[in-house]
Amino acid sequence: MFRIIFMRFNIRAMAAAGLLAFRLNAQTAPPLLETLSPSSQMVVVTARDWTATEGSLRRFERTERAWQQAGPAIPVALGRSGLGWGRGLNPPSSSGPQKREDDGRSPAGIFRLTYAFGYAAAEEVREIQLPYIQCAASVECVNDTNSTCYNIIKDRRSGAKADWKSSEKMLRSDDENKLGVFVEQNSGPPEPGAGSCVFLRVWKGPGQPTSGSTAMSIGGVESLLGWLDARSHPVLVQLPLEEYRQKQTAWRLPAIEF
């Protein structure tokens, strides 16, 4: 059993606070290192190359001297088409494929990890240290590129106009959303067609690729959520190995022995 602290946020309050759609104008964004300076937790996922559907996840904590790995590496499943550059905190790049809606690619780049979700009621997960959303039957992640709510998790019970024709139901009949973390890919503001509803979630099974999320065992997700802390401004760095090596110094990423 993992230990977690619940922070009480409802979906409407989170949207107003910018947690569901972080507004970052690429033309006025501060330099990457300045943007990352508040972050003292980093989740690093690396894959063999752009087409790999499996990879490894490592957790790092920033100390006064350097990034230190926290716990062992764990295996993850990636998108059925591998990786593609997403829209995150890092500068745009044309060195590899670009992520698009429904392309089966997990996003490459650096992304904020702002809130968690799961099937349990909030009272049962009081120790999660990220804002938490219960996946009720009325909660959906909008993937309709024509919707004003594109790439945002919405609750139909909120009373807001549901202007979307397609979405992912967050309460599923399997365990994939039993616990997870929303990845802020294409959230600043969302670009229609650049990809939506990307999560760190429970996998279908070892070696089974996803539609674009990064998935792991339920034990892996539990361990991750028992560690992530909103006060540490956690981020996800997800890259093919060669891209990671090339950007490690400039982006001041943790040293990894491959």
User: Is 158 inside any structural domain?
Assistant: yes
User: Would strands 132-134 and 106-118 be described as parallel, antiparallel, or unpaired?
Assistant: parallel
Tell me how many domains the chain contains.
1
Q: List helix spans (H) across the chain.
A: 11-17, 32-36, 218-225, 241-247
For residue 30, what pLDDT band results from cuts at 50, 70 and 90? low
104: domain range?
11-22+37-247
| pLDDT band at 8; cut points 50, 70, 90 | very low
Query: Could you report the per-residue pLDDT of 227-239, keeping only the tens digit for each?
Result: 999 999 999 999 9
Mean pLDDT of the region 70-90 = 97
Q: Are the C-beta atoms of residues 170 and 143 closer than 8 Å to each other?
A: no
Q: Would 30 be classed as within a structural domain?
A: no
pTM of the model: 0.88
227 found inside a domain: yes
* pLDDT number for residue 225: 97
CA-to-CA separations, 252 to 25, 118, 239, 245, in angstroms, rounded? 23, 33, 14, 11
Instruction: Kindly state whether residue 3 falls inside one of the protein's structural domains.
Output: no
Q: What is the pLDDT of residues 154-196, one digit of tens each?
A: 999 988 789 999 999 999 999 999 999 999 999 989 999 999 9
Is 2 within the bounds of a domain? Answer: no
In a domain, 252, yes or no: no
pLDDT (average), residues 33-43:
96
Q: What residue type is assigned to position 244 of the chain?
A: Y
